[in-house]
Amino acid sequence: MREHVKFRVGRIVFASVSPDESLLGFGYPREMREALVAGEPEKFLMPRASDMRYQWVRARLAALDLDELEELLVDAWAMCVPQFLRREYLELQVQPQRVVDECHECGGDPPDQRADALDGH
């Protein structure tokens, strides 16, 4: 039987995909998970009983769009990494639009390769 695919920062698991790829478990603040599940029960599930002690919740992968999936995974990852790394990542997310805005202000075209690299493309 296949195991869950786990994504880690060091030894800390921040996300896990079920063997049948239908569920995603991910790090989520313990004090906020009941509200998340209650707000969208067709999308989110409480953790298994054995995982209730962790900051963890589950989602039905088919119910998530790509942007939402990315946001959930980045937020789960951010819970596990040092603050300086989280800050650097967030600064890079702001950078692509700033590069484009600066180019438009000076009347030039944005440097595609630089903006694509910063945007993760």
DSSP assignment letter at 54: S
Residue 95 CA to residue 10 CA, distance in Å, equals: 27
- pLDDT of 91: 85
Give the chain's mean pLDDT: 84
Q: Enter the tokens of residue 98.
A: 């700033």
List the domain boundaries for the chain.
Answer: 1-81, 83-121
Architecture of domain 1-81 in this structure? Alpha-Beta Complex (3.90)
Provide, rounded to the nearest whole percent, the portion of the chain with pLDDT above 90: 68
Is the pLDDT reported for residue 109 higher than 90? no
